[in-house]
Structure 1
Amino acid sequence: MKAQIDENLPSSLARSIDPVAREHDHEVVHVRDFIGAGTSDIALFHIAVEQGVQVHVTLDQHHRRTKERDAIQHLGLIVFVLSKGWNTLDLYHSAARLLEWWPEMMRKAEDAAPGSIFKVPHLRAPLGRLTPVRSTR
C-alpha cells in the first residue's frame, strides 16, 4: 500500500517511516515528491491517485469541506486526519508517535471502505483508537 504525508507535515516524517513501512510492503512518500507547493487539495488527490497513492495522512480537516470530502470518496482515498494535539509535538515525538500508529493505520486502511476518513489521536497508540469520521451532510 502506498501512503503520502501531506505538505502540512514535514517531509522528514515520510522519510523516517518509509524504511520501516517497506518491510511490510508499504511505501511512504511526501506530497512534495510529486507536486509543487500550494497545489489545491482536490488536484493533489487526483495526482496522488494517478501516482498509486491509496492513503493520505494530514493535519487538514478535509471532512469539514464538502468538495474535498466528495473528491476523497469519489477517488477512494483513505484519509487519516491527525488530531489537534499532533501540532504540539516536536518532530522527534511526531515521528515516533506516527510510527507507533502506523501498523494500526495500515490495518484500518486495508479493511476500510474506499473514501473513509479516520481521526488519529495524538495519544500513544495503546491509549487511543482510530475514530471514523462521519459525513457532516
Structure 2
Amino acid sequence: MKAQIDENIAPALARALDCLVQDIGHQVVHVTSMHERGTADTWILSKAASFGVDVHVSHDYHHKSQDERDAITEGNLIVFVLSKSWSPHTFFEKASRLVHWWPRLLNACSTLRRPGIYIVPWRSESRRFERVG
C-alpha cells in the first residue's frame, strides 16, 4: 500500500512513517514529493492512482467540497481525515498519535469501502472510523 500525506501535515512525519512501514512492504510519501506546493487538492486527489497511491491522509475536510469528493472518486481513494480534535496538539503529540493509529489505518484499508472518506478521531478507544463521504 502507498499512502500520501497531505501538505497540511509536516513532511518529516511522512518520512518517519515511511521508515516505519518500509519493512512490511508499504510506502508513505508527502504530496510535495510528487506535486508543487500549493497544487490544488482536486488535482492531487484525482491523480493519486496514477502515482500508485491508495490512501490519502489529511487535516482538510475534503468531504465538504463536491469537487474534492468527485476527485476522490476518480482516484478511487481511501481518505483519512484527522478530526478537529487533533488541531490543538503539538507536532510531537500528533506524530506520536499518528504512529499509534497507523496499524489500524493499514488494517482498515482492506475492509473499508472505497472510494471513501473516514474521520480519524484523536481518542484511540474508538475502534471504527466514521465514514463521511
TM, length-normalised to structure 1: 0.90
* Structure 1 residue 12 corresponds to structure 2 residue 15: no
Letter in 2 for 1:43: W
Partners of 1:35 and 1:48 in 2: CA distance: 11
Letter in 2 for 1:17: L
* Pairwise CA distance, 1:47: 3.0
Letter in 1 for 2:101: W
2:126 paired residue number: 128
* Pairwise CA distance, 1:100: 0.5
2:66 paired residue number: 66
* Pairwise CA distance, 1:110: 1.9
Counting matched residue pairs gives: 133
Identity %: 40
Partners of 2:11 and 2:128 in 1: CA distance: 23
1:80 paired residue number: 80
2:107 paired residue number: 107
Partners of 1:101 and 1:85 in 2: CA distance: 14
Letter in 2 for 1:46: S
Maintained 8 Å contact 2:55/2:77: yes
Moved over 6 A (4+): none
TM, length-normalised to structure 2: 0.93
Secondary structure of 2:39's match?
coil
- RMSD, aligned α-carbons: 1.3
Maintained 8 Å contact 1:7/1:32: yes
Unaligned 5+ runs, structure 2: none
* Pairwise CA distance, 1:82: 0.1
Letter in 1 for 2:25: D
Unaligned 5+ runs, structure 1: none
- Structure 1 stretch displaced more, 97-106 or 17-26: 17-26
